[in-house]
């Protein structure tokens, strides 16, 4: 009974040429980027409120503008980051739909739940960063200057730092979804993940060093929840992964 399923799956995947795959990818990317642009335009209308929300972790620290266009570009950055968050469901939908031709028919039915869970995990990662990591990281990094240096933080550098950190934590929290997908297609197993814990720790530390600012404190704050998510991924793959 497995033969027809395999043949059907292969037919769906290989019926598309390399050029067809590139064209499909191009349209998926176009739709994802367009959704971000539209969401960013809408967010620009609320940019003042979003900016006030974004600077809460700073506390009493003041931001500075050193260029004539500094304030304008700062609000554009805020709108762009907000647009990315607002367009998350569309972006994840386009991503999973691009992957879906390689899935079985019953597996394609979970695309919408995967979009919802992917968006939720991303937001959980960003909220964790906003509520926990950002206040601690800013206090540590700004306070590191002590009484000798007087930090002058520009609004542009702060928004870039904060926005990229929020996105980095959002994507890092997608680890269980990635593990679920790889387990479903049979590329990994729970035993494989369990045996690779020591390598996972090293990989997590390297990944944290790459996607966070160059300070050990922030890297550790990302590495700890990432390892926790790795353990959750092992359990998830154990019960949902492809049985060999």
Q: Using the predicted structure, report yes or no on whether residue 213 has a pLDDT greater than 80.
A: no
Closest listed residue to residue 138, CA positions, set 73, 56, 70, 222: 56
**pLDDT for residue 108:** 61
**What is the tens place of the pLDDT at every residue in 119-176?**
999 999 999 999 988 888 888 777 766 667 777 888 988 999 899 889 988 998 998 9
Closest listed residue to residue 129, CA positions, set 180, 157, 169: 169
Please give the Cα distance from 84 to 89 (Å, whole number): 10
First to last CA, the chain: 16
Model confidence, pTM: 0.81
Strand partners, 63: 153
Please give the Cα distance from 125 to 107 (Å, whole number): 26
By the 10 Å C-beta count (0-12 exposed, 13-18 middle, 19+ buried), 95 is classed as: middle
Mean pLDDT of the chain: 82
Q: Using the predicted structure, report yes or no on whether residue 6 has a pLDDT greater than 50.
A: no
Please give the Cα distance from 200 to 193 (Å, whole number): 8
pLDDT band, residue 13 (cuts 50/70/90): very low
**pLDDT for residue 17:** 64
Strand partners, 232: none
pLDDT band, residue 1 (cuts 50/70/90): very low
**pLDDT for residue 106:** 58
**pLDDT for residue 66:** 84
Cα distances (Å, whole numbers) of residue 75 to 43, 48, 57, 78, 129: 10, 8, 17, 5, 21
Average pLDDT over residues 188-200: 86
Q: Using the predicted structure, report yes or no on whether residue 36 has a pLDDT greater than 80.
A: yes
């Amino acid at each position: 009974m497995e033969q027809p399923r395999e043949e059907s799956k292969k037919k769906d995947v290989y019926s598309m040429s390399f050029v067809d795959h590139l064209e499909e990818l191009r349209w998926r990317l176009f739709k994802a980027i367009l959704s971000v642009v539209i969401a960013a335009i809408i967010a620009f209308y609320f940019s003042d409120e979003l900016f006030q929300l974004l600077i809460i972790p700073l506390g009493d620290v003041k931001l500075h503008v050193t260029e004539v266009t500094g304030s304008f570009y700062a609000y554009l950055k805020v709108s762009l980051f907000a647009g990315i968050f607002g367009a998350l469901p569309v972006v994840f939908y386009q991503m999973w739909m691009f992957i879906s031709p390689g899935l079985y028919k019953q597996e394609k039915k979970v695309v919408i739940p995967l979009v919802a869970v992917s968006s939720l995990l991303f937001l959980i990662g960003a909220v964790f960063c906003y509520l926990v990591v950002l206040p601690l990281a800013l206090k540590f990094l700004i306070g590191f200057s002590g009484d000798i240096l007087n930090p002058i933080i520009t609004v542009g550098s702060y928004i870039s730092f904060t926005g990229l950190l929020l996105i980095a934590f959002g994507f890092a929290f997608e680890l269980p979804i990635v593990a679920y997908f790889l387990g479903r297609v049979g590329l990994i197993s729970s035993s494989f993940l369990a045996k690779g814990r020591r390598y996972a720790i090293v990989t997590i530390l390297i990944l944290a060093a790459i996607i966070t600012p160059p300070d050990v404190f922030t890297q550790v704050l990302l590495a700890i929840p990432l390892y926790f998510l790795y353990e959750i991924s092992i359990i998830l793959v154990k019960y949902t992964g492809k049985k060999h």
